[in-house]
Chain A
Amino acid sequence: MRRSVSFAVFLAVVVLGASALTAPPRNAAAVAPQKAESAEVKIDNFSFGPSTLTVAVGTTVTWTNRDDIPHTVASSDDPKAFKSKVLDTDEKFSFTFTKAGTYPYFCSIHPKMTAKVVVE
């Protein structure tokens, strides 16, 4: 009888200890501040790459014009969520997505150039 009680106590200690080790800390965010995320889209050869970019809310997306022709980045919705100035070669434009959703966009100089950002 004493042996079985000792075994039950031992088992309880092991189970409690294991659960304490595997459970996430309640205030993890406060301990380790979340790193701001970023993503890149390359504009080259009259196209956006990648054509569909999936990012988390709060991500800053940076478009870089690697083409030798000016381009713009303009969201297709109305009113426009974002719109860059005319980007010459190697110029960049950044936008931080603060709301989830799908953001189709295009180049207002070359409307055949289309792509989208999916924010989850």
Chain B
Amino acid sequence: MSEGFLGTAAPLAADVVLLLEIGMGVGLLIGAWLARRKRFRQHAWCQSAIVLLNLAVILVAMTPSFRSQVLPRIPAKLGRPYFALATVHAGLGTITELAGLYILLCAGTRLLPEKLRLTQYKAWMRGVLVFWWLVLLLGFATYVRWYVPSWFANQRGFDSGRR
């Protein structure tokens, strides 16, 4: 397994995913700005590409990592911050990605029957954007907790004193 390039203890995949996710978060904000400027075609392309790219990242990188490192230890270890953070991040992230895909299906295709389509697009899109950034911050916190030992030096001292 390759080492990361951000100077933390993370593997290469985690560093790449972190930068991709930050880029996607910023990209969604740019997409929202495009909608406000009434450039709806560019807005649609931007947000669709990001939602689909995120789906690929989830399937290729995040899910295997979660299955091997976190899933075997829950629910027994949910009291531990690193497992709890990763689990909440995964849960909220899954819901947000599914909501993003739902908006994509409703707005960009005719695959869903009429009664299943959205009527309040703006509210859904804004809600997903807010949740997306919340999940991104949780993902950042998860990265820091798992891979940046120096940020938790004091807590480690406290824990080892308790042992």
Is chain A's binding surface mostly helix, strand, loop or mixed?
loop
Closest to B150 in A: A46
Residues from 35 to 76 in A contacting B, C-beta threshold 8 Å: 45-46, 66-70
Given known pairs A45-B156, A68-B159, the reply for A111 and B82 (CB within 8 Å) is no
Asked whether any CB of chain A lies closer than 8 Å to the CB of B39, the reply is: no
Interchain CA distance A108-B159 in the complex, whole Å? 24
B-contact 0/1 string along A107-120, CB 8 Å cutoff: 01111110000000
Interchain CA distance A10-B133 in the complex, whole Å? 97
CB-defined contacts of B155 to chain A, threshold 8 Å: 68
Interchain CA distance A112-B145 in the complex, whole Å? 16
Interchain CA distance A85-B69 in the complex, whole Å? 8
Q: List the 7 closest A-B pairs by CB distance, nearest first.
A: A110-B9, A111-B1, A68-B159, A46-B149, A111-B11, A111-B3, A68-B156
Chain B interface residues (CB < 8 Å from chain A) = 1-4, 9-11, 68-70, 72-73, 77, 80, 82-83, 145-147, 149, 152, 155-156, 159-160, 163
Chain A interface residues (CB < 8 Å from chain B) = 45-46, 66-70, 85-86, 88-90, 106, 108-113
**Given A69-B149, A85-B72, A109-B69; 6 other pairs, CB 8 A cutoff:** A70-B73, A70-B146, A89-B159, A108-B1, A109-B11, A111-B1
